[in-house]
Amino acid sequence: MDLFLQTLLNGLLIGGVIATFSIAFQLTFGVLHVIDFAVGAWVVLGGYLAYYMAAFLGIDGFLVMPMAFVLFGAIGYLMGPMIYNVRNSRTARPELMALALTFGIFTLLRGGMLTVWGFNTHSVPTALSGHSIMIGPVTVPLIRVAAASFAVLIAGGLFFFLFRTRYGLAIRATAENRQNAALMGVNIRRLSANVYGLYAGITAMSGVLMGGIYSVNPEIGLRYTLFAFFVAVLAGLGSLGGALVAALLLGVIEAFVATYGGASYSHLAIFATLFLVLLVSPRGILRRGL
């Protein structure tokens, strides 16, 4: 029973961790209609920023998070219009060209990081790393709780922003239909810059947490991209609430299969689940996808 509870908690926290880098990703698809291959690169960049801040200035990972948001938010803001232009160009398959563009960005960033920062694996120290508390028989790792809370906070914040503010309304109108947005007087290019910047900033922040929980090297980005994609599709593309549910589902499946079925089957189970869910419910588990 204790192991069962611990497994459940592990699963929920793995899900929370996956959610941290998957939620903002929904924004790019929902609003910009772009599948961003570079999501993993933003995660890794955030991790590196935190690593260097800690190694040279001794700044705690959590304090680096706002820095990561500002820095990579600004970079994303500058890149947003380029991605928007490709996505809305008059080529035969603009959505594919946008995907290829983000794949190119991902490859460029990965190659750049390998060249500049080398190949070693680093770890980001944070105030909560390695600390845990006991609740009854269950060990609760605090950094993962922080990550899961971050995910919930971001999801809630984005939800509030999109559904309770005027600018959020503009974003949703744009997502729905560009003509609507133009009629409302929304500057779509600026909006896409803002959205991509917001997404890149949030994702880089989650990268700080990933560096604290796991470790950072330039080659692990693809793993995050893979999971962000899977969560997005399982959730229904563009669905924020779905992303939380989907991430938790993946986490719980991984934990239970690893604990009770054999860890080597855990990823087989995750991918098979995703595949089957898609066949049964093509727009994600909550059937809310675009």
Partner 1 sequence: MPKKDVSFSRRTFLGGSALALASGTISMPFVRTARAQAATFKAGVITSLSGENISGGNLTKNGYDLWAEAANEKGGVEVGGERFMVEMFYGDDQSNPATGADAAERLIVQNEVDFLLGPYTSGSTIAVQPICQKYQVPMISGSAESPNVWLAKPEFNFGIIPSVDTTSGQSLGVLAALSNPKAKTIAVIGVNEPFSKETGEGFQRGAKEAGLEVVAYELVPASGDLTPVMSKIAALNPDIVAVGGHEEPLINVIKTSKSLNYRPKALIMHYGVTNPAFAEALGADANGTSGVAVWLPTVPYKDDLFGTAQDYVARAQAKFGHEPDYTEAACSASGLVFADAAKRLGKKPSLTPEDRVALKDAIADTDITTFYGPIKFEKEGDHYHDNIQPVPVVIQIQDGKTVAVGPKEAAAAEFIYPLPSWK
Partner 2 sequence: MAQTMKNRWAGLLLLVGILVVLALLPVLVNNYWLRVATGALMWAGLACSWNMLGGYAGYINFGHSAFFGIGAYATAILMGADFAVPFLATIPIGMIVTALFAVVIGAPTLRLRGAYFAIATWAFAEVLMQFATVVDFTGGTGGIGLPPFLNERFFYFAMFAAAVLTYFLTWLLFERSRFGLKVKALRDHEPAAEAMGINTSLVKLQTFVLSAVVASVFGSIFAYWVTFINPKSVFGGDITDQMVVMVLLGGLGSLWGPAIGGVALFFVNRLIWMYYGDTAFYIAILGAAIILVVLFLPNGIAGLFARRSGKSGSVLDTVLGRLLGSRQGGRS
Which residues does 250 contact at the CB level (< 8 Å), separation at least 6? 14, 15, 18, 227, 230, 231, 234, 270, 273, 274
Residue 114 makes contact with partner 1 by CB under 8 A: yes
Residue 154 makes contact with partner 2 by CB under 8 A: no
Spatial contact of 289 and 236, defined as CB atoms under 8 Å apart: yes
Chosen from partner 2, partner 1, none, partner binding at 94 (C-beta under 5 to 8 Å by type): partner 2
DSSP H helix total and E strand total for the chain: 11, 2
Residues 11-50 that bind partner 2 (CB under 8 A): 29, 33, 35
Chosen from partner 1, partner 2, none, partner binding at 86 (C-beta under 5 to 8 Å by type): partner 2
Residues 191-220 that bind partner 2 (CB under 8 A): 218
In whole angstroms, give the CA distance from residue 180 to residue 153. Answer: 30
Cα–Cα distances in angstroms (integers) from residue 9 to residues 46, 58, 280, in the given order: 26, 32, 28
Q: Which stretch binds partner 2 (CB under 8 A): 94-102, 150-158, 164-172, 207-215?
A: 94-102
Among 74, 78, 131, 189, binds partner 1 (CB under 8 A): 131
CB atoms within 10 A of CB 149: 12
Token digits for 54?
A: 């800690």
Q: Give the binding site for partner 1 (CB under 8 A).
A: 2-3, 6-7, 10-11, 13-14, 17, 114, 118-123, 125, 129-132, 134, 139, 141-144, 213-215, 217, 219-220, 223, 251, 254-256, 258-259, 262-264, 266-267
